[in-house]
């Protein structure tokens, strides 16, 4: 498991010294939610948790993707919409990779007792098993189900540790990280995870909603890559994440501005700037 604070210290080439605090886009005010959001439902509701995390309730099947609900090692600008100890139940937690803004050990330890199962890559599964989580590791391309939800594990390019000697005592592989393709009765959701742009990411079925990695960093889509991906799927709703949460105006992975993206993508009205905790109802695209 790797700390984004450590990543920041390693990436001196991405850091610019300044005596004045730079502007940084901030997420809208948090909309807290409680146990009522976890009950039976006749629809699929998504809520951004802040950072890279999401909560999904699809007709009563509940899951979280990359939940981080406190205890981060860098200062944050948001209030998290729910405390981990207030989560009543989860059918599953999906984790895209081992960086601690996505695989939060403190959060997952608190969620362990109310979570039926954890899913991730083979590598992250090994870390989870060390924690005693009821975890299952998957290869890229593998599919599994959570209730009536079907999930497929997708490839990403995010082995940033190899570019910074001393970060890790192991060589990372791209298959140590992943994205997820999630099929519900109300539509499809693509959780991109953190990734540099890959050719195969431009050849997919158009999803109804993309949990969009919005980060102008060399180990993410970058601005150019984000625009290219967004315009490849011109009708998909773009639920931006990885922005507006961490107080790090000099650190590109966390300080992208949605207003920049709005000026460059086709159909900018489909960009959804959720407040942490704000509900979004998933609907299929009109063909």
Confidence band for 224, pLDDT divided at 50, 70 and 90 = very high
Q: Is 142 buried (19+), middle (13-18) or exposed (0-12) by CB count in 10 A?
A: middle
* pLDDT(14) > 70: no
Round to whole Å and give the CA distance between 62 and 146: 9
* pLDDT(213) > 80: yes
Confidence band for 17, pLDDT divided at 50, 70 and 90 = very low
Per-residue pLDDT, 63: 98
Confidence band for 21, pLDDT divided at 50, 70 and 90 = low
Confidence band for 6, pLDDT divided at 50, 70 and 90 = low
Domain boundaries, the chain: 37-280
Per-residue pLDDT, 66: 98
* pLDDT(58) > 80: yes
Per-residue pLDDT, 4: 67
Q: Comparing 17 with 217, which gets the higher pLDDT?
A: 217
Spatial CA neighbour of 51 closest among 103, 119, 87, 15: 103
Confidence band for 196, pLDDT divided at 50, 70 and 90 = very high
Q: What does the DSSP assignment read for the chain?
A: -B-HHHHHHH-GGG----SSPPP---PPPP----GGGGS--SSEEEEEEETTEEEEEETTEEEEES---S--SS-BSS--SS-GGG---EEEEE---SBTTTS-HHHHHHHGGGEEEEEEEHHHHHHHHHTT--EEEE-TT-EEEETTEEEEEE-----GGGGSTTS-SS---GGGS-EEEEEETTEEEEE--S----GGGGSSPPPSEEEEE---STTS-HHHHHHHHHHHSTTSEEEEESSSSB--TT-GGG---HHHHHTTSSSGGGEE-PPTT-EEE--PPP-
Confidence band for 20, pLDDT divided at 50, 70 and 90 = low
Q: CB–CB of 118/128 below 8 Å?
A: yes
- Average pLDDT of the residues in 251-267: 95
Mean pLDDT of the chain: 93
**For 198-210, what is each residue's pLDDT tens digit?**
999 999 999 999 9
- Average pLDDT of the residues in 131-154: 98
- Average pLDDT of the residues in 158-186: 95
Note if the pTM is more than 0.85: yes
Round to whole Å and give the CA distance between 133 and 126: 10
Class at the top of the CATH hierarchy for domain 37-280: alpha beta
Per-residue pLDDT, 5: 60
């Amino acid at each position: 498991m790797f700390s984004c604070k450590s990543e920041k210290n390693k990436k001196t080439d991405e850091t610019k010294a300044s005596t004045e605090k730079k502007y940084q886009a901030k997420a809208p005010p948090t909309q807290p939610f409680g146990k009522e959001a976890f009950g039976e439902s006749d629809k699929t509701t998504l809520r951004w948790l802040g950072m890279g995390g999401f909560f999904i309730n699809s007709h009563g099947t509940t899951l979280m993707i990359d939940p981080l609900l406190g205890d981060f090692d860098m200062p944050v600008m948001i209030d998290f919409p729910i405390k981990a100890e207030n989560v009543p139940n989860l059918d599953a937690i999906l984790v895209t990779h081992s960086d601690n803004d996505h695989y939060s050990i403190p959060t997952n330890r608190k969620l362990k007792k109310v979570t039926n199962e954890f899913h991730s890559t083979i590598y992250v599964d090994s870390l989870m098993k060390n924690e005693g989580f009821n975890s299952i590791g998957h290869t890229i391309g593998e599919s599994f189900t959570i209730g009536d939800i079907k999930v497929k594990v997708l490839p990403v390019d995010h082995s940033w540790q190899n570019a910074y000697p001393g970060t890790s005592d192991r060589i990372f592989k791209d298959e140590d990280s992943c994205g997820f393709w999630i099929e519900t009765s109300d539509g499809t959701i693509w959780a991109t995870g953190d990734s540099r742009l890959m050719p195969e990411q431009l050849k997919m079925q158009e999803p109804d909603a993309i949990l969009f990695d919005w980060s102008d960093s060399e180990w993410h889509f970058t601005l150019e890559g984000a625009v290219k991906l967004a315009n490849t799927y011109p009708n998909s709703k773009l639920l931006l994440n990885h922005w507006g949460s961490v107080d790090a105006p000099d650190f590109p992975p966390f300080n992208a501005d949605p207003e920049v993206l709005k000026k460059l993508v086709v159909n900018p009205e489909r960009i959804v700037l959720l407040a942490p905790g704000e509900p979004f109802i998933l609907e299929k695209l009109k063909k």
